[in-house]
Amino acid sequence: MKNQIELGDITADVVLKDIKNIHLSVYPPSGNVRISAPLHMNI
């Protein structure tokens, strides 16, 4: 499942996966932000 959330002027893609912890990734040079979160988390 993939969602997007806005944090101020930053848009982050949220991907729910079968994992235990939250992972925040920033991809240069564009600065794309991705958050990988456990399936059981509420967004």
Per residue in 1-43, pLDDT (tens digit) is 689 999 999 999 999 999 999 999 999 999 999 999 999 988 7
For the chain, domain boundaries: 2-38
Residue 42: the pLDDT is 85
H or E stretch covering 14: strand 10-17
pLDDT at 26 (0 to 100) = 97
Residues 6 or more apart whose CB falls under 8 angstroms from that of 39 comprise 1, 16, 17, 18
> Which residue is associated with the tokens 């079968």?
18
Which residues are within 8 A (CB) of 9 and not within 5 positions of it... i.e. 6 or more apart?
Answer: none
pLDDT at 43: 77
Residues in the chain, total:
43
Taking the complete model, does pTM exceed 0.75, yes or no? yes
